[in-house]
Amino acid sequence: MTIAIIGAGSWGTALAIVLAPRFERVRLWAHEPELVQRMVAYQENHLFLPGFRLPANVDPTGKLSTAVDGARTVIGVMPSRFARALYTRMLPHLDPTTRLVSATKGLEQHTLSRMSEVMRDVFSKEFSRSLCEPRIAVLSGPTFAKEVASGQPAAVVIASQDRELAASIQREFSGPKFRLYTNDDPVGVEIGAALKNVIAIAAGICQGLGLGSNSAAALITRGLAEISRLAAAMGARPATLSGLAGLGDLVLTCTGELSRNRKVGLELARGRSLQEIVGSMTMIAEGVETTAAAVELARRHDVSMPITEQMDNILRGLKSPQDALRELMERALKDESV
């Protein structure tokens, strides 16, 4: 059995490593030709996940058609800004029975779409000619690529309204160090996955300002309240946001030293410009682009998200971290459930 992983960043590479024992072949697609050449030559992703050897059955490739040809399952792990274009490019090479899994944690900027919605938009019309609906699932949860690649135990969620699809992927992907739980609420899983990055930027700012554990705990708790309000307004179940893809991923991203989004906030608090921070990073911090989309979604659904709004102001250069914090603390007093 063959699977294809589209996106050879740190998380895509870690997935290739952890899933390799479960499949006959794992094809790992990368955009950068030089990276593909080096992965083939040295069996290591020196750019995004150095120090971890690729298993022998992982085949790096720079051709999308080669990557997805004959693959029973295709996992999209590309940055959200490239998702629609890449799915459109791979469409002619996909069989209508191919199972599609999104592992990208972000929102599409101009449409505000979740990644599974982007998938469905791209694939539905073409697949309908074969009298098939695209089979789509979402993979998310509290995971740092380095820890997964090193074999440390991790638990994630595979979410789909197609319960049989989620269950079959759960059986195939799960192993001794990688445990999957099924969920039939992809809306809650994707909103939790995308918006936790926004709160993680705020967590980095708190640390950069020298604030302590009290502030961090308050931020995470109220951040979860914001995410849950928006998710519920979009049709998600509140319980999903208390699970791995909600609270679990939020805590990890807000507190873990490996968090890219937390690092962005930390550097902003230290006075560096956003352009300078982003330009110095090898990998994309999805929260930077997700913040503006989240603010617009909140307006569309008439949901109050004061932390997210202040993060948007900071990222746009409209307010300093100190001013944003002061405004958050001086807002009108209200009940915790509001």
What does the pLDDT profile of the chain (338 residues) look like in tens digits? Answer: 899 999 999 999 999 999 999 999 999 999 999 999 999 999 999 999 999 999 999 999 999 999 999 999 999 999 999 999 999 999 999 988 899 999 999 999 999 999 999 999 999 877 666 657 889 999 999 999 999 999 999 999 999 999 999 999 999 999 999 999 999 999 999 999 999 999 999 999 999 999 999 999 999 999 999 999 999 999 999 999 999 999 999 999 999 999 999 999 999 999 999 999 999 988 888 999 999 999 999 999 999 999 999 999 999 999 999 999 999 999 888 888 87
* Domain residue limits, the chain: 2-184, 187-329
**Does 334 participate in catalysis according to the annotation?**
no
pTM: 0.95
196, 263, 319, 334: the active-site residue:
196
In the chain, where do the E strands start and end?
2-6, 25-29, 44-45, 49-53, 58-61, 73-76, 99-102, 135-140, 154-159, 178-183
Q: How far is CA 30 from CA 37, 113, 158, 165, 221, in A?
A: 10, 24, 24, 26, 37
CATH of domain 2-184: 3.40.50.720
- Regarding the domain delimited by 187-329, which CATH topology (the fold level of the hierarchy) does it fall under? N-(1-d-carboxylethyl)-l-norvaline Dehydrogenase; domain 2 (1.10.1040)
Around Cβ 316, how many Cβ atoms within 10 Å?
A: 12
